[in-house]
Amino acid sequence: MDKMNNELNVTYITFGGHVELQKYRLLYFIATFTVYILIICSNSTILCLIWIQKSLHEPMYIFIAALLCNALLFSTNVYPKLLIDLLSDLQVTTYSSCRFQAFIYYSLSGSEFLLLAVMAYDRYVSICKPLQYLTIMRKTTVTTLLVLAWVLPSGQLIPPLILGHTSKLCNHTLNGIFCNNAVTKLSCMGSTGPYIIYGVFTLINTVFLPFVFIIFTYSKILIISYRKSSDIRKKSVNTCAPHLLVLISFSCLCSYDVIIARLEIDLPKTAHSIMSLQVVLYQPLFNPIIYGLKMTEIHKHLKMLFSRGRSFVCFALLGK
């Protein structure tokens, strides 16, 4: 029995970030479930729209679809487990499952930055080199960029995932409601020098360099657009503004995650839980709203879709 208990202590960890869960369990569950359904419906609607409408089968909209798909995967990595925990008496998970959730969490976060960098490159070619656009942004180029955006972040995170799999735990309570980088603090090894150096290397490759590339690219677009006609300037603003809004919001949220999780800044449990949820709540809901309202073609097709939906409902009611 003692042997089994020891094995459980090593294998299982507890989420210690929930605030008054016993008192507000049902409220938390309903709110979280509602948000998850909204995320699925909003992102899936635009994804299906891009898939169905042939006029949206262009690189720019394909990259937007990839970004929305990334948001769906990102949310599904967190919400189902979180919903189960909200209804459970014990909020526990295995150490290996927690490390895998953190791996998916940061892989998809890295993919978000790389996809935004790819979208910036696409806009640069479209606005600054319009005559060469079809030659440069061919189907094979688009496919290659999408594959790299998803493969590169996960590939860089595989070594620490494998190396840390067998590490012994000295702490079995995670200060959070889902698994992120804080899981490394549970290991007896802690954050060793090589681990920190590799983490900084990965952060530079998947976050800092894409961020600098995006800022440089959009700066170049604005400079070139300013020299051209007002129509070109308007087109540049309409197509680039949504991407920049998504970039700024996601960068702020990721900065919080890095600062709090890695530097172990002491925050009240309520504030920590609220800020942690912002990372998995704001962006997946923000993306479809921004692209649905700001991208003219998507907005036009969405209006047509909802108009048909209302007409169908009215027709059905009149038929009855």
Domains in the chain: ranges and CATH: 2-319 (1.20.1070.10)
Question: Considering only CA atoms, which of 19, 176, 159, 30 is closest in space to residue 93?
Answer: 176
The helix or strand, by DSSP H or E, that contains position 255, with its residue range, turns out to be helix 230-263
- Given this model, what pLDDT does residue 84 score? 93
Question: Considering only CA atoms, which of 249, 278, 229 is closest in space to residue 113?
Answer: 249
The helix or strand, by DSSP H or E, that contains position 94, with its residue range, turns out to be strand 92-94
- Given this model, what pLDDT does residue 213 score? 92
Q: Which two tokens stand for residue 78?
A: 């967190």
Cβ 102 vs Cβ 180: under 8 Å: yes
pTM of the prediction?
A: 0.85
- Given this model, what pLDDT does residue 33 score? 94
Separation between Cα atoms, residue 145 and residue 67, nearest integer Å = 13
Cβ 72 vs Cβ 43: under 8 Å: yes
- Using DSSP's 3-state secondary structure scheme, residue 317 falls into helix
Question: Considering only CA atoms, which of 66, 311, 13, 306 is closest in space to residue 183?
Answer: 13
The residue count for the chain: 320
- Using DSSP's 3-state secondary structure scheme, residue 92 falls into strand
Q: Which two tokens stand for residue 265?
A: 């800044």
Cβ 164 vs Cβ 264: under 8 Å: no
- Given this model, what pLDDT does residue 319 score? 53
State the amino acid at position 311 in one-letter form.
Answer: S
- Given this model, what pLDDT does residue 9 score? 46
Rounded to 5°, angle at Cα 274 from 292 and 261: 105
- Given this model, what pLDDT does residue 128 score? 83
- Given this model, what pLDDT does residue 40 score? 94
State the amino acid at position 151 in one-letter form.
Answer: V
State the amino acid at position 37 in one-letter form.
Answer: I
Residues 6+ apart with CB under 8 A from 319: none
Residue numbers in the chain where pLDDT is lower than 50: 1-9, 311-318
Cβ 260 vs Cβ 278: under 8 Å: no
At 265, phi and psi to the nearest 5?
Answer: -70, 130
Q: 142: number of CA atoms within 13 Å, CB side?
A: 20
Separation between Cα atoms, residue 248 and residue 311, nearest integer Å = 38
Beta bridge partners of 187: 169
Cβ 68 vs Cβ 284: under 8 Å: no
